[in-house]
Amino acid sequence: MKVKEILTETLLIVFGILSAAFGLKGFLLSSHFIDGGVTGISMLISDITGSSISIWLLIINLPFIFLAYRQQGMAFAIKGALAIAGLSLCVAFVHFPDVTHDKLLTAVFGGFFIGVGIGLAIRGGAVLDGTDIAALMLSKKSQLLKVNDIILLLNVIVFTLAAFFLGIESAMYSTLTYLAASKMIDFILNGIEQYIGVTIISVRSKEIQDFIQNNMKRGVTVYVGRGGYGKVGHIQEERDILFTVVTRLEIPTLKEKVLKIDASAFVVQQSIDDTTGGLMKRKSVH
C-alpha cells in the first residue's frame, strides 16, 4: 500500500473518531440519549450502572473484533481494534463542550456527528461499531434475513430496553438519533453520486445507446426482448432493451435526452449501492 493511501486512511479514521466522540460527549451523554448498535448498548449499560462508557465500548466490541478477524482477516481486525480503542480513549480523555440542552437538537445532531464518524472510519477501512460485523455474519447463515434486517432487529431490541430503563421519551429521542446517524453513514458512503441503474425500452434504442456511450461515456448492456400487454399478452416485434448505470446527478441529463429522442420511451430506474469495473467511476470506499 502506498504512503499516500495509508495517510488518507489514517486521517479518515482519526477524523471519524473525533466526530463520533463529539457526537457522544457534546450531545448525547449529558441528555441520556443513546444510539443504536454496540455503541447504544454501551451507552445504555453506562447509564444503568453509572460506569464509564469508555470501558464498555472496549469490552462489548471485543467479540466483534474477533469476528472481524475471522471474516475479514488480520489487517481489518487490527484497524478496527485501533479505531475502537481510539474512540474509547477519546471519549475518556478529550474534553468536548456540551453544545445544547435542546432535546430535539441533541438527538438529531448527536446522531449526525456519530454517523459522520462511523462513515469516515468505514471509508478508512475500519469500524467504530461491531454491529455491522455481527449482522453480516448472521445474514450469511440465514437465507431469510438480510444485513439491514438484522441491524434493524438488533436496534429494535436496544431501543425497547432503552424505553424500559430510560423511559419512553428518551427512547423516542434515541430513535431519532439512530435515524440521523444512519442517514449520515449512508451519505458519507454513497454521497450525492449514488449509483442509479436505468433500463430503457425504445424503438430508437440505437440513437439512445450512441448518446450514452459517446456523450456520457458510460457503458451500456443491450438485451433483446419482446413487449407484451393486455390479458392475452400481445407480442410485438423484437427490440433492444438498454441497461446502464449512471450517478444520480446524471439522471436529469439522461432522461431529458432519452425523451427528446423518443417521447414514448419506457424508462425504469433503481438505486444501486455500488459497482465494480465497467465504465463507472468507483467511489473510494475501502
Per-residue pLDDT at 45:
93
Per-residue pLDDT at 53:
93
Residues 6+ apart with CB under 8 A from 8: 124
What is the number of residues in the chain?
A: 286
Per-residue pLDDT at 278:
60
CA distances from 12 to 60, 106, 116, 250 (A): 23, 24, 10, 28
Per-residue pLDDT at 232:
47
Number of helical H runs and strand E runs in the chain: 11, 4
Looking at residue 155, its amino acid is N
Phi, psi of 198 (to 5 degrees): -125, 125
Per-residue pLDDT at 133:
72
Per-residue pLDDT at 279:
57
pTM of the model as a whole? 0.73
Strand ranges of the sheet holding 239-247, from the earlier edge strand across to the other edge: 221-225, 239-247, 195-201, 266-272
Per-residue pLDDT at 138:
64
Report all structural domains of the chain as residue ranges with CATH numbers, in order of start.
3-190 (no CATH), 195-272 (3.30.70.120)
Per-residue pLDDT at 27:
94
Per-residue pLDDT at 153:
79
Which residues of the chain fall short of a pLDDT of 50? 230, 232, 282-286
Per-residue pLDDT at 195:
81
Per-residue pLDDT at 87:
94
